[in-house]
Structure 1
Amino acid sequence: MRTRHIVGAVIAALSVPVAVALPAQSHGYISTPPSRAALCAAGTVQNCGAIQWEPQSVEGPKGFPSRGPADGAICAGGNSRFAELDDPRGGGWPTTAVSAGQRLTFTWKFTARHATTGFKYYLTKAGYDATQKVTRANLEPTPFLNVPYNGTQVPSTLSHTATLPSGRTGHQVVVAVWEIADTGNAFYSCTDVRF
């Protein structure tokens, strides 16, 4: 009897690190051009907290921009566990060089293939100050790319190509929103670019 309790305790103790190491829910993020979550996961950006192990977990309420995460918490999807993604780091997030009118492809990596309403891509307004957190006031209210998905399940990777708007210079942020069809949530991914 005592041996059975010891064996049970050992198995329970060994299973805790495994359960803690695996994310409770896995989903998706933009891998190229690298999003803030991807940069943290790759170790390109340090001091990222939990997002370095869970780049696919930036989940928050859907309905952006009328609903969704609060201003200043958009890049983390309103999830305080990933608040490092909202820190502008003094404008120091690594950027991908782009130009107005350029065709740019965004590639999502999915770890859970949800039924999807669609994808929307927003860009910060001309004159955006990259030392400030992303808010609705410094984003264009209309997405520069809107990809309906009509409840279809996503594959393990998916790319969207968009023509980047004109009238931008310097450091800007793309906010991509992946809306899930059968839950009240969406996934948020911020990518820093330099025009």
Structure 2
Amino acid sequence: MRKRMYAAAVGVATLGALTLSTGGATGHGYTDSPISRQKLCANGSVTGCGAIQWEPQSVEGPKGFPASGPADGKICSAGLGQFNELNSPTKPGGGAWPTTKLTSGASQTFRWQFTARHRTTDFKYYVTKNGWNDSQPLTRAALDSAPFFTVPYNSQQPPATLEHTGRLPGGKSGHHVILAVWTIADTGNAFYACSDVTF
């Protein structure tokens, strides 16, 4: 009897672990070039980030941006409260988020790292408008309305690391945020990553 109860307990524990490991909380991908806020937290460049430091790949929210998707002010966290630190215009503890130096109008390679390689609709990249308010969390109104770079992916599955190269928008200077959106073909979600840059 005791052996049967032990076996049942192990079975339930294993099922629970499998359920957790296949759920949305385990996440699936992030950008590390230009480096995203979640990757800065994960690699220890920025500290005090909370849960995102262990789950940079988990910034997953509804797809359809900008018509739908995360609410304004919650875009960088994909609307997930446990990753709210990513929405702040300043890093945890204060001060500016580290930036990547880029040249307006130049060719740029964007790189994603994937822990689960979902079939993909596309990758889109948006950038903040000239004169945007960088003391406030990111909103749709702060972004240029159209993506400056789109990579169709035709429901294919990406490799574990994916790079693609496109042209940055011209006429940009100073601090901006690039929002990368990875839209999944076979779920209702997308993954979001905010990268602070200086043109």
The verdict on a shared fold, with TM-score over 0.5 as the criterion, is yes
* Shift of residue 21, structure 1, vs aligned partner: 9.4
Q: What is the correspondence of 1:1-195 to structure 2 with a 5 Å cutoff?
A: 1-2=1-2, 24-89=25-90, 92-195=96-199
What's the C-alpha RMSD, in Å, of the aligned pairs?
A: 2.4
- What is the distance in 1 between the residues matched to 2:71 and 2:198? 25
Q: CA distance change for structure 1 residues 153 and 20 in 2, over 3 Å: closer, same or farther?
A: closer
- What is the distance in 2 between the residues matched to 1:62 and 1:18? 25
8 Å CA contact 1:75, 1:86 repeated in 2: yes
* Shift of residue 22, structure 1, vs aligned partner: 9.6
- What is the distance in 2 between the residues matched to 1:6 and 1:160? 51
- Structure 1, unaligned runs of 5 or more: none
Q: CA distance change for structure 1 residues 2 and 64 in 2, over 3 Å: closer, same or farther?
A: same
**Match of 2:134, as an amino acid?**
A
SS at match of 2:85: helix
8 Å CA contact 1:127, 1:168 repeated in 2: no
Query: 1:151-183 deviations in whole A, cap 9, x for unaligned?
Result: 111111111212111222211000000000011
Q: CA distance change for structure 1 residues 102 and 67 in 2, over 3 Å: closer, same or farther?
A: same
8 Å CA contact 1:62, 1:179 repeated in 2: yes
- What is the distance in 1 between the residues matched to 2:109 and 2:95? 23
Query: 1:18-65 deviations in whole A, cap 9, x for unaligned?
Result: 998998433100012210010000011111111100000000000000
SS at match of 1:85: helix
8 Å CA contact 1:75, 1:190 repeated in 2: yes
**Match of 2:77, as an amino acid?**
A
Q: Compute the TM-score of the two structures, normalised by the length of structure 1.
A: 0.89
- Structure 2, unaligned runs of 5 or more: none
**Match of 1:79, as an amino acid?**
L
8 Å CA contact 1:95, 1:193 repeated in 2: yes
8 Å CA contact 2:20, 2:26 repeated in 1: no
- What is the distance in 1 between the residues matched to 2:4 and 2:186? 43
What count of residue pairs does the alignment treat as equivalent?
195
* Shift of residue 102, structure 1, vs aligned partner: 1.6
8 Å CA contact 2:26, 2:55 repeated in 1: no
- What is the distance in 1 between the residues matched to 2:141 and 2:68? 14
* Shift of residue 80, structure 1, vs aligned partner: 1.1
- What is the distance in 1 between the residues matched to 2:161 and 2:134? 29
Q: CA distance change for structure 1 residues 7 and 183 in 2, over 3 Å: closer, same or farther?
A: closer
Q: Compute the TM-score of the two structures, normalised by the length of structure 2.
A: 0.87
Aligned residues: percent identity? 57
* Shift of residue 8, structure 1, vs aligned partner: 7.3
